[in-house]
Amino acid sequence: MSVITVKNLRKYYRVYQKEPGLIGSIKSLFHRQYQDVKAVNDISFTIKAGELVGFIGPNGAGKTTTLKVLSGLLYPTSGKASVLGYTPFDRQPEFQKQFSLVMGQKNQLWWDLPALDSFILNREIYEIPPAKFDKTLKGLVKMLDLKDVLKIQVRKLSLGQRMKCELVAALLHSPKILFLDEPTIGLDVVMQKKIRDFIKEYNQKYQATIILTSHYMGDVKELCERVIIIDRGQIFFDGQLKEIIKKYADHKVLEIIFSRQVSRQDLQKIKDIKIKEFDFPRAVLTTKRKSANQTAAKLLEKFPVADLNITETAIEDIIREVFTGRDLS
């Protein structure tokens, strides 16, 4: 059963352009040149209940705009979005009680008060029965290890602690759908891991549907089976993460450490390889996926090899190269 349906969605922003400098500013006082920015330009997808989907794409690709439309913050220029059968922009309370949006760079907690005060406010806003609230809060506090920080002014918390509290605030009403926009931004690796584990656990424990955007491939790789890649407002790829590797990476990477001097020319004589890096004693080559093993055997036979590694092209590299439109091999 699909809980989120997006069909031919478009969101254009009208912005005005200003020439640089003071003269440009004065000109813009009298005459403004407007331009449409196509933040989201005709995208369609559906998401089933319980899925954990990753949105990836460069800055300005339209990921956040899509999430904002799905949350009812933005009025779509055209097309349709439906979440749990509701039109998000109508902002019906019944709908709002079933989803949550967390933005890594925005906060909803009251800055001058302890997080607990904001939680209690959310209890009233979402009309959560006190018994259920206490139970949910206890569970979340345990999962995120927050017991000691609930009564400290939010402004005094570290970024990681605050992010965890933001997550708690967003989850108190046990939303069925969760939109996470860069939930790990600015966090150290340990905290990133903790948040990731939590998201995974939450998804499995409550069968919550989650859409996550992130710049860290680590987040997406670890959490999402399905990814939607967006670029310049359009969907570029929608499918299993492993499919990206199959579809776009027809090459494997060979990393070699030589034990004695080898020249680049000698190496180039081997068929089917491309030299990506050569910095004695280390070389990185790419070769066709199918013949990777034979090529490796040939290299071992002809060269003094101390160490050899065959790896898949990193997803980060695949995606980066897909975006920049370069040849992968």
Partner 1 sequence: MRKYLQIFKTHWQSSFVYRLNFIMWRVRSLLQFFAVYFLWLAIFSTQEDVFSYNRSTMFTYILGTAALRSFVLSSRSVTAGVEIANGDLNNYLIKPVSYLKNWLARDLADKLLNIFFVIFELGLFILILKPSLIPPASFSNLTVFILTAILAMLMYFFFSFLVSSFTFWYPEHNGWPLRFLIFMVLEFLAGGLFPLDIFPQAVFKIFRLLPPAYFLFYPLQIYLGRLSPTEITTTLTIMMFWLLALYQLTRFVWKKGLKIYGAYGR
Task: In angstroms, give the least distance from the CB of 139 to partner 1.
Answer: 21
Residue 86 binding partner 1, by CB under 8 A: no
Pairwise CA distance, residues 55 & 187, whole Å: 19
| Span near partner 1 by CB under 8 A; candidates 25-33, 100-108, 247-255, 264-272 | 100-108
Angle, vertex CA 148, rays to CA 99 and CA 134, nearest 5: 45
Residues 141 to 170 in contact with partner 1, rule: CB under 8 A? 153
> Whose Cβ is closer to partner 1: residue 24's or residue 93's?
93
Cβ-proximal residues to 15 (8 Å cutoff; 6+ apart), any chain? 34, 35, 37
Pairwise CA distance, residues 64 & 213, whole Å: 8
Task: In angstroms, give the least distance from the CB of 147 to partner 1.
Answer: 22
Look up tokens 């209690």; give the residue: 120
Q: Pick from 75, 130, 269, 279 the residue near partner 1 by CB under 8 A.
A: 75
Residue 250 binding partner 1, by CB under 8 A: no
Residue 113 binding partner 1, by CB under 8 A: yes
Alpha-carbon dihedral angle through residues 299, 292, 228, 143, given to the nearest 10 degrees: -70
Judged on CB neighbours under 10 Å (0-12, 13-18, 19+), 251 is buried
**Number of separate helices (H) and strands (E) present in the chain:** 12, 13
Residue 73 binding partner 1, by CB under 8 A: yes
> Whose Cβ is closer to partner 1: residue 120's or residue 270's?
120
Residue 90 binding partner 1, by CB under 8 A: no
Residue 13 binding partner 1, by CB under 8 A: yes
Cβ-proximal residues to 254 (8 Å cutoff; 6+ apart), any chain? 273, 284, 285, 286, 287, 292, 295, 296, 299, 308, 309, 310
Cis peptide before 58 (omega within 30 of 0): no
Task: In angstroms, give the least distance from the CB of 112 to partner 1.
Answer: 4
Look up tokens 């069909």; give the residue: 7
Tell me the per-residue interface mask from 119 to 138 with partner 1, x by CB under 8 A, - otherwise: -xxxxxxxx-----------
Residue 103 binding partner 1, by CB under 8 A: yes
Residue 64 binding partner 1, by CB under 8 A: yes
Cα–Cα distances in Å, from 328 out to 26, 122, 314?
Answer: 47, 49, 11
Q: How many residues bind partner 1 (CB under 8 A)?
A: 34
Residue 279 binding partner 1, by CB under 8 A: no
> Whose Cβ is closer to partner 1: residue 124's or residue 301's?
124
**Contact criterion met (CB below 8 Å) for 139 and 128:** no
Reading the block at residue 4, the tokens are: 């989120």
Phi, then psi, of 55 in degrees rounded to 5? -100, 120
Residue 68 binding partner 1, by CB under 8 A: yes
Residue 34 binding partner 1, by CB under 8 A: no
Residue 12 binding partner 1, by CB under 8 A: no
Q: Pick from 86, 110, 248, 323 the residue near partner 1 by CB under 8 A.
A: 110
| Span near partner 1 by CB under 8 A; candidates 111-119, 203-211, 233-241, 249-257 | 111-119
Residue numbers of the site for partner 1 (CB under 8 A)?
13, 64, 68, 71-75, 91, 93, 96-97, 99-101, 103, 105-106, 108, 110, 112-113, 117-118, 120-127, 153, 181
